[in-house]
């Protein structure tokens, strides 16, 4: 068909416009964010500075899960190993020597090259990469590890290697029992000749304490995981409707996170509606939602190995019932009051105590409890309905490491505040109108120099905002 120049030019414009719109629709909302090598170098320097004189630390990478028939599981590095190295490779070993006489304080042992396996998995890093990409002072083959660590000369009856003369070993085996047994046997062989290190301690003690305070680069990754997950939660709210399935809500959230650079979720998403809303770790997500259900969605992505943890509860129909709203408002008040107290110096335990008091008062007001507030708090009377603690650390693990307890809060701490109330069906002494209501509201908080920042509070949590978000459902 013949067309005029005018029509041709306009058709080109239409095509270009369509291509632009398609590219815009496909564009991710968050550009990639990568942890800088300097972050891992700082972690290593801090760790080395805390090691005892004349000591050595050995960290093993996480072992790969056994294959299921001919299918390999997706690999996830051990969090402590990653914290110090930034390396995701299995089979690796990191060695730290604070007093190294040769100046080689950071050694990285990597798997040898294997052309057949690399044809399946892609290229493996080598010794040169250990130095150029991951900042090691020396790169070696993991096959050399035992001999480099300890060599016995039967003629002189002496040991040489990196363990020679060392008094203390910090060890983290990442759960690789076979490797750990072989290495410990090498240590015992030295000890049997009165040449081995006198002490072997758990290296995680030092690293776990370091991980409690997140540096600015770590904060940026937790923030990114939280921002992506937060937008995913809004899409999940819009996906909820009577007749739809829990897994459709999960897919709306998980899919958005994956589309914006999250390689995996930080934990299996919990999407429980109606009777499933009262289960703390419901993961089947297979129920068809009904009019009048409340839906509890506890989901968070992992981004650059750093996790987040957000929970929202909302009515499938777009309107809370009076009973659902009453419970929701108690939980929200508890969270708000607990969060308002967060600042440097506050004992972490005060967060849970504050939430417990507000929830106890609310449960008394609604008739679920009777008695005096102080007595109920002392006897944990509220725990019949609340079930769990209300705060845990968030970082490289969704329930991050480190001792909190009565520890005073410090800038750089990141943790959740997540009060909840759960009323299953057939609960003794509870009117059936309250049954099958599970409510949890969970946000991630960063302690700042003069207070705190809620990283996830952009996700609707006020009653009117939550109901509005659900009613703006996708078609």
Q: So which residues are the catalytic ones?
A: 70, 281, 298, 309, 388, 392, 399, 418, 422, 440, 442
Nearest to residue 80, comparing CAs of 177, 210, 181, 199?
A: 210
DSSP SS3 for 473 = coil
71-80 long-range contacts, CB within 8 A, separation 24+ = 74/264, 76/264, 77/305, 78/172, 78/174, 78/175, 79/211, 79/305, 79/396, 79/397, 79/401, 80/172, 80/174, 80/203, 80/204, 80/207, 80/208, 80/211
Q: Count CB-CB contacts under 10 A for residue 105.
A: 18
3-state per-residue secondary structure call for 238-271: HHCCCCCEHHHHHHHHHHHHHHCCCCEECCCCEE
Nearest to residue 390, comparing CAs of 311, 458, 451?
A: 311
Q: Count CB-CB contacts under 10 A for residue 111.
A: 18
Rg value, the chain, Cα: 27
3-state per-residue secondary structure call for 67-121: CECCECCCCCCCHHHHHHHCCCCCCCEEEECCCCCCCCCEEEEECCCCHHHHHHH
**Phi and psi (nearest 5°) for 375?**
-65, -45
106-110 and 138-141: which strand pairing?
parallel
Residues 221 and 36: beta-carbon distance below 8 Å: no
DSSP SS3 for 391 = coil
- CA separation for the pair 242, 113 (Å, rounded): 55
Listed in sequence order, the residues at least 6 apart from 196 whose beta carbon sits closer than 8 Å to its beta carbon are 163, 187, 188, 189, 190
Phi-psi region of 305 (alpha: psi -120 to 50; beta: other; left: phi over 0): left
């Amino acid at each position: 068909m013949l067309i005029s120049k005018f029509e041709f030019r306009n058709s080109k414009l239409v095509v270009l416009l369509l291509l632009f719109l398609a590219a815009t629709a496909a564009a991710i909302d968050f550009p990639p964010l990568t942890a800088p090598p300097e972050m891992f170098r700082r972690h290593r320097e801090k760790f080395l500075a805390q090691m005892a004189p004349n000591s050595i630390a050995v960290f093993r990478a996480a072992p790969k899960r056994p294959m299921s028939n001919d299918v390999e599981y997706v690999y996830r590095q051990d969090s402590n190993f990653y914290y110090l190295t930034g390396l995701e490779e299995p089979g690796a070993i990191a060695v730290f020597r604070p007093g190294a006489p040769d100046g080689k304080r950071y050694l990285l042992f990597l798997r040898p090259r294997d052309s057949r396996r690399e044809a399946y998995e892609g290229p493996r890093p080598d010794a040169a990469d250990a130095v150029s990409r991951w900042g090691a002072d020396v790169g070696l083959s993991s096959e050399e590890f035992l001999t480099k660590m300890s060599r016995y000369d039967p003629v002189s009856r002496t040991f040489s290697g990196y363990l020679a003369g060392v008094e203390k070993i910090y060890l983290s085996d990442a759960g690789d029992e076979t490797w750990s047994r072989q290495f410990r046997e090498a240590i015992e062989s030295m000890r049997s000749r009165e040449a081995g290190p006198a002490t072997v301690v758990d290296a995680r003690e030092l690293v776990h304490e370091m991980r409690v305070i997140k540096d600015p680069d770590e904060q940026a990754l937790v923030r990114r995981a939280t921002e992506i997950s937060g937008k995913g939660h809004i899409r999940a709210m819009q996906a909820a409707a009577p007749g739809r399935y829990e897994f459709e809500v999960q897919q709306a959230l998980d899919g958005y996170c994956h589309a914006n650079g999250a390689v995996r979720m930080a934990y299996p998403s919990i999407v429980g509606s109606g009777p499933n809303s009262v289960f703390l770790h419901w993961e089947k997500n297979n129920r068809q939602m009904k009019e009048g259900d409340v839906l509890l969605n506890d989901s968070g992505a992992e981004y650059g190995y750093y996790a987040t943890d957000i929970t929202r509860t909302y009515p499938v129909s777009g309107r809370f019932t009076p009973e659902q709203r009453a419970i929701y408002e108690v939980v929200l008040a508890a969270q708000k009051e607990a969060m308002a107290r967060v600042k440097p110096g506050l004992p972490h335990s005060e967060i849970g105590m504050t939430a417990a008091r507000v929830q106890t008062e609310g449960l008394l007001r609604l008739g679920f409890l009777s008695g005096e507030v102080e007595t109920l708090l002392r006897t944990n009377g509220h725990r019949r309905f609340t079930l769990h603690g209300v705060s845990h650390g968030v970082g490289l693990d969704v329930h991050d490491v480190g001792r909190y307890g009565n520890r005073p809060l410090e800038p750089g701490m990141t943790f959740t505040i997540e009060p909840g109330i759960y009323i299953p069906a057939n609960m003794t002494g509870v009117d059936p109108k309250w049954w099958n209501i599970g409510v949890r509201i969970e946000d991630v908080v960063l302690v700042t120099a003069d207070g705190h920042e809620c990283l996830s509070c952009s996700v609707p949590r006020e009653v009117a905002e939550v109901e509005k978000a659900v009613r703006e459902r996708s078609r």
